[in-house]
Amino acid sequence: MCGFSHGKALTAAAFTNPEAICVDPLNPASAYFIGDQSSVRYCDSDGDVSLVAGHVHPGYADGVGGRARFNNASGVISTRDGRRLYVADRLNNCVRRIELPVPENRHSSQSQSQSSPSPPSPSPSPCVGDVKTVAGAGQNGIRDGPGPEAFLSWPRKLVFDRSSKHPPESVLWIATYRTVARYDLATNVVTTPFFSHLKHGRGGFGSGGTGINPPSTDPKSKQIPVPAPVVQSSLPPALAAEPAWAIESLDSGLLLVVMSCAVAVFNPDNFSASYVLAGEPSDPYFGDGTGGENGEARFKGMRDLVVVGRERAAYVCDMENNRIRRMALPARLFPVSTVTGTGTGSSSTSVKA
């Protein structure tokens, strides 16, 4: 049952299509943040759920706690010091930053959250945040430029760049419907080194199949330079045909990108060297087996991925196959296997004694 209420996680809290979760680095063993459609929630180590920011009704507004509005908080990540969250606000086509209370206020596991059948005041929460839009002008499309003037297309998931080429948590990669975008927090600039869905030329795109919004004809509008067309064809054709659903950054500087039917490796330093790690972009199906572009593994409707074990394995949510799949890395050398799920859609659970 969908809902919007706070309190004990198992007895009082209600959610509406939660899509994102990340641990609280101040309480990594037992507390986490949740992207819940039109709000961001906090579940503390006592299992109490409280409001960070947002409201039961979707919308768009910056502000503190319940005065802020989201429209599909589909990706949430935290900085390592626990002072900030970044949220992919998908249907508002932007990325939001949430400034959190000083860490000392969250070290205690005792939450003062109270159960309530109606949208609560943000005051009982130990994690009420101040929301500000940092990237995306609200327009669905692709346009590089300063954060508030850039265009994003349904941003879904976020990850900090983990390579040694940048200071920690200074670059944010954004998986969107039409591309993988890069947001530099130091310069406050959005760029789109990888272009996807270019051949479709759909909503918010310029004419002529360029995949880029044309400059505004409004004389008062600030013109923002866009990349030359030659950059747009750098991605291998097999990877330019699917949207990005999720993204993970590796220590090597490479990116693992989850598409609907394939997991790909994107190389920010050499776009043309990007390749399919496992699956087949044009073949939605199910199959365990070898990875690689011509391998046996097949996926259908993947939605998320996590890398574990010092990047030696990745687990993916193979949604339309109703399975969780495992890839040993690099998957081109090791087979893809099913970890759990029979392929039949249900909510049954088997618990070993």
C-beta of residue 33 within 8 angstroms of C-beta of residue 15: no
Q: What is residue 157's predicted lDDT score, i.e. its pLDDT? A: 94
Give the count of beta carbons closer than 10 Å to the beta carbon of residue 187. Answer: 12
Q: Are strands 313-318 and 32-36 parallel, antiparallel or unpaired?
A: unpaired
pLDDT at residue 162 greater than cutoff 70: yes
Q: What is residue 272's predicted lDDT score, i.e. its pLDDT? A: 72
- The kind and range of the H/E element at 276 are strand 275-279
Q: What is residue 76's predicted lDDT score, i.e. its pLDDT? A: 96
What mean pLDDT is reported for the chain? 77
**Terminal Cα-to-Cα distance of the chain (whole angstroms):** 29
The DSSP output letter for 178 is: S
Q: What is residue 4's predicted lDDT score, i.e. its pLDDT? A: 47
Angle at 146 (CA atoms; ends 140, 150), nearest 5 degrees: 5
pLDDT at residue 144 greater than cutoff 70: yes
Local confidence band at 108 (pLDDT 50, 70, 90 cut-offs): very low
Structure tokens, 333: 């050398």
Q: What is residue 212's predicted lDDT score, i.e. its pLDDT? A: 34
- The kind and range of the H/E element at 179 are strand 179-184
Q: In terms of C-beta distances under 8 Å and separation of at least 24 residues, what long-range contacts does 332-335 make, across chains too? A: 332/277, 332/278, 332/291, 332/292, 332/295, 333/291, 334/291, 335/288, 335/289, 335/290, 335/291, 335/296, 335/297
More confident residue, 113 or 172: 172
Local confidence band at 124 (pLDDT 50, 70, 90 cut-offs): low
For the chain, give me the number of helices (H) and strands (E)? 1, 24
Q: What is residue 201's predicted lDDT score, i.e. its pLDDT? A: 27
d(CA 285, CA 45): 40
More confident residue, 106 or 308: 308
Q: What is residue 334's predicted lDDT score, i.e. its pLDDT? A: 73
More confident residue, 342 or 97: 97
3-state secondary structure of 231: helix
d(CA 186, CA 3): 38
Nearest to 152 by CA among 101, 113, 204, 109: 204
pLDDT at residue 148 greater than cutoff 80: yes
More confident residue, 81 or 206: 81
pLDDT tens per residue, range 169-203: 999 999 998 788 999 999 999 998 875 433 322 22
Local confidence band at 84 (pLDDT 50, 70, 90 cut-offs): very high
Q: How far is CA 22 from CA 5, 36, 87, 132, 157, in A?
A: 20, 12, 11, 19, 11
pLDDT tens per residue, range 20-55: 899 999 888 888 999 988 999 998 888 888 999 999
Q: How far is CA 326 from CA 244, 304, 322, 350, in A?
A: 19, 12, 13, 20
pLDDT at residue 214 greater than cutoff 60: no
d(CA 228, CA 18): 38
Percent of the chain exceeding pLDDT 90 equals 36
Structure tokens, 98: 């949430």
Q: At 163, which amino acid appears?
A: S
More confident residue, 165 or 293: 165
C-beta of residue 176 within 8 angstroms of C-beta of residue 75: no
Nearest to 143 by CA among 212, 63, 67: 212
pLDDT tens per residue, range 260-314: 888 888 888 877 778 888 888 878 899 998 887 778 999 998 888 888 866 588 8
pLDDT (average), residues 144-166 = 93
d(CA 34, CA 53): 11
Domains of the chain in sequence order = 1-106+124-135 (2.120.10.30), 150-212+228-346 (2.120.10.30)
